[in-house]
Structure 1
């Protein structure tokens, strides 16, 4: 367990200093334009083509950040207008997580990672285009995230995945991939509070301890036992390192925390299987591998993780290829890897 007094290498800077966003380069702008043209509906919602055509706050937040970085103000304003009109919750600064074309918003619960990325995107867009009201909204969201979505668990702080449904008798369920460390830095700067530092330290402790299976990998969903602080893959979801958990090494590497086991463990896992088929997931209870390969988006995270861990070079040629044939989620992961590589000076 991470001692409270311990200052990890680079951790004070993670909260105290802004991550300097590198200007988008032509390759990223081209891939963003392709993503926009394929997945952004005219009304401003991002269509999840691999999930029944739904839209969700996570996709809106990711796309808003990418539009801001690509200096695509028209797309950003379309995204923002639809997100505010359809997903904004009336009683707080958070957003409903899911919209179905045939039913509208059918679940008003929020998704914390969606809120985190929407807030980050508003802060960047407000700074880029001189819109202080967007920055003020991003800061207000940051305060609501800290006040409403962070829970004490013993002497730790945990980040709830949403307002409802994750606090169980005897357990709190968390999603390790919601600890988006570069975004948390931006929110901490916009709404300063010492609790951000503790949330980051405790999040790193959680990711260090919450690893399972032969390759010691984080699960998509993780349960914290109240009182004991024992960690286990959460019941109700497959015990897999899969579509959610692949974002753990992405966000750690993006934040420069490249020596964390949340980067080095997945990097070794992917390095071991890279000569053959890169698996889409592994079952952490029996080490079974998926019978089908990972998407290009997961492969891009694998490349970023392996370079960050010093295991291989990043294939810029592979990342610069068009996104033709990839679904929404794979495509947006490629864009996020692009941004991480730009911010870390790796491209």
Structure 2
């Protein structure tokens, strides 16, 4: 895996108006990122993205607001991880103390970006503390190989271990390997790349939103019951991670590119069922199309430019967030923006 990548302060080269538009629509004054497409809840994932965006756009005031709310409201009692969801107006807004591993990784990454920009050692120290607790709480070794559970509890059973391909953020693993040498992040990244290679289904060979790692080492990976067998809103982040990490010949990345560029549609559908081949009746969001454009440019190489949609083209927080993630990925990989 290539050496990587602090998605770094240079990302502030992106137009500041995009960040301002995002803040106006989705950032509450107290520092909570609002999921406008999901009843206004907040997630640790979104808080981590907000930290990354604020660091990329050199907005320390917003960064500290987001970090303060995240630690004050979502931090779990006995470690440095974070409860995965906040529901405004509920009797117990944080009713489930389970973490979401991707959210914790995004928070750690945002802290490392902030330290790279503002040289504030406590950001670095907290990122390392989160990284250590991710390993302590979620690291498992089925078949003797390291994987991170999607959360501390609820993903292990006699049927096997349920994993989420979109949580396998290779650029973050690489940065944590640089930050915490010898802690095992390189091995986790290597195994994640192998799982993404093996967990491909359907006509295009796509990663699903969720995958089941059976107990027997020789058994093929399967899509678990209880989740739709789709390449959908979660799984679109798997090719983003691969393209960001420079894995431009990875079959899961090439499969996603083939799906998005299939000539049977002018604009690709939002999801495809990996068993039946049925597709969504609505088109991929602007954020998904931003990922598709980035992956195409990374595969093509040679300075291929990426034209990103405006934040205002996205109807909801998730699509807008994906667009800003792609903008950071473009800058950090030297992919030119149109």
TM class, shorter-length: over 0.9
The partner residue of 1:244 within 234, 237, 247 is 234
Q: TM-score, normalised by structure 2?
A: 0.94
30-39 or 332-341, which deviates more = 30-39
TM-fit CA distance, 1:331: 0.1
Cα distance in structure 2, aligned partners of 1:36 and 1:206: 36
Cα distance in structure 1, aligned partners of 2:251 and 2:14: 30
- Which SS does the other structure have where 2:21 is aligned? helix
Match of 1:301 in 2: 291
The partner residue of 2:16 within 21, 25, 29 is 29
Cα distance in structure 2, aligned partners of 1:48 and 1:77: 20
Cα distance in structure 2, aligned partners of 1:60 and 1:90: 18
Task: Check if 1:345 corresponds to 2:334.
Answer: yes
- Tell me if the contact between 1:301 and 1:333 (Cα under 8 Å) persists in the aligned partners: yes
TM-fit CA distance, 1:91: 0.1
- Which SS does the other structure have where 1:109 is aligned? coil
Match of 1:7 in 2: none
Match of 1:161 in 2: 150
Cα distance in structure 2, aligned partners of 1:83 and 1:292: 34
TM-fit CA distance, 1:194: 5.1
Residues paired across the two proteins, number = 333
Match of 1:285 in 2: 275
- Which SS does the other structure have where 2:76 is aligned? coil
Match of 1:172 in 2: 161
The partner residue of 2:246 within 256, 265, 269 is 256
Gaps (5+ residues) in structure 2?
none
- Tell me if the contact between 1:249 and 1:262 (Cα under 8 Å) persists in the aligned partners: yes
261-270 or 319-328, which deviates more = 319-328
5 Å-filtered alignment, 1:54-133, equals 54-103=41-90, 104-133=93-122
Q: TM-score, normalised by structure 1?
A: 0.91
Q: Deviations over 1:172-214 (max 9, x none)?
A: 0000000111111122222222521211111111000000011
- Tell me if the contact between 1:28 and 1:335 (Cα under 8 Å) persists in the aligned partners: no
Match of 1:6 in 2: none
52-61 or 163-172, which deviates more = 163-172
CA RMSD of aligned residues (A): 1.9
- Tell me if the contact between 1:303 and 1:313 (Cα under 8 Å) persists in the aligned partners: no
Cα distance in structure 2, aligned partners of 1:199 and 1:268: 27
189-198 or 143-152, which deviates more = 189-198
Higher strand share: 1
